[in-house]
Amino acid sequence: MNTSPVTYAAAGVDTEAGDKAVELMKDAVRATHGPQVVGGVGGFAGLFDVSELTRYRRPLLATSTDGVGTKVAIAQAMDVHDTIGFDLVGMVVDDIVVVGARPLFMTDYIACGKVVPERIADVVRGIAAACQVAGTALVGGETAEHPGLLGPEEYDVAGAATGVVEADELLGPDRVRAGDVLLALGSSGLHSNGYSLVRRVIEVAGWSLDREVPEFGRTLGAELLEPTRVYAADCLELIAAGGVHAFSHITGGGLAANVARVLPAGLVADIDRAGWQLPPVFSVLQQLGQVPWHDLERTLNLGVGMVAIVDADRADALRARAEHLGLAAWTLGAVRDLDPARDTESPDLVAGTKGVHGGAVRLRNGYRV
């Protein structure tokens, strides 16, 4: 029989390391706080003053939660942890801005096998930096040590955010009409979806993360770890310019499936695959793994991170505004009425995804690689 005392530390949990991680990260977290944040860092709950909502006629709160997926495995393999926060924030706040909501505040959750203060602080610093880009306060979080469930070098991250939109300014399918134009906003790379496919491709090919890839101009690992573009603040600028009817955040499911989610029943968006040059990471992975194109386009963003569906009369001005904000932007397609006889028989028609039975997207031609 064991007569030695059993302590929390002996069980694998180091509370002092957790405290040190908080000390290392708190300045970065505070940098996201405006006057609306009450109480600072370290409380049981994050507090956010919403007095300004009294000026709204009918405020709707919007909320979203997400994680980073298996992209964290790339960060862990490379021992680079200060960029994964952009992937987390992008996945969360850019779902909120789709409905026209301004993200107000966010919280995060990190589960790890062992708290290494410097590593945890790097993750949170990345989250905080991305929150600043989005104009969102990071008001709280939690780091949980799970020895025996996760390995000492393993961790996972998740987050949730809340935003607000005036009810009569809500964006979405109700505003979309035949004749509207689709504007593509370019992605920064793979973003944070499809990494199970990506990791399998490079595993089968036997490529290492430190392999120099001429098409990328850097290592494979650096390309795969490229942070997600955070669009929220830019999308709000486009909304303020007028003429935006809906947004679609291109995440899991790919371009067509996500655009179809924000179209009303009876309408189709025509998208020409040859309308833009695929960034090298997508064509390299496709060729490396001989991935079928239909599988690739239903998994990865293929260079389009966000789509704005806009009034045709405002399309040129909004594209110019997006470019002024530093976004690659181009006309992706247009919305029209569904032709049941012609469209429903097309193998390239995508509809009824994510449980949404609204409009559809019809793809044509092949990609430019």
Interval 174-192 mean pLDDT: 97
Q: Is the pLDDT of residue 7 over 70?
A: no
- Provide the sign of the torsion angle of the four alpha carbons 274, 280, 282, 283, taken in this order: positive
Which pLDDT value is given to residue 1?
Answer: 59
Domains 13-166 and 173-364 are alike in CATH topology: no
Taking only the tens place, the pLDDT of each residue in 249-291 is 999 999 999 999 999 999 999 999 999 999 999 999 999 999 9
b/e map of 261-289 (b: 16 or more CB within 10 Å)? bbbbeebbbebebebbebbbbbbbbbebb
Please give the CATH superfamily to which domain 13-166 belongs. PurM-like, N-terminal domain (3.30.1330.10)
pTM: 0.93
Where are the domains positioned within the chain?
Answer: 13-166, 173-364
Contact (Cβ atoms closer than 8 angstroms) between residue 298 and residue 226:
no
As a three-state string, the secondary structure of 110-145 is: EEECCCCHHHHHHHHHHHHHHHHHHCCEEEEEEEEE
CATH code for the domain defined by 173-364:
3.90.650.10
Contact (Cβ atoms closer than 8 angstroms) between residue 356 and residue 264:
no
Contact (Cβ atoms closer than 8 angstroms) between residue 143 and residue 21:
yes
What are the beta bridge partners of residue 50? Answer: none
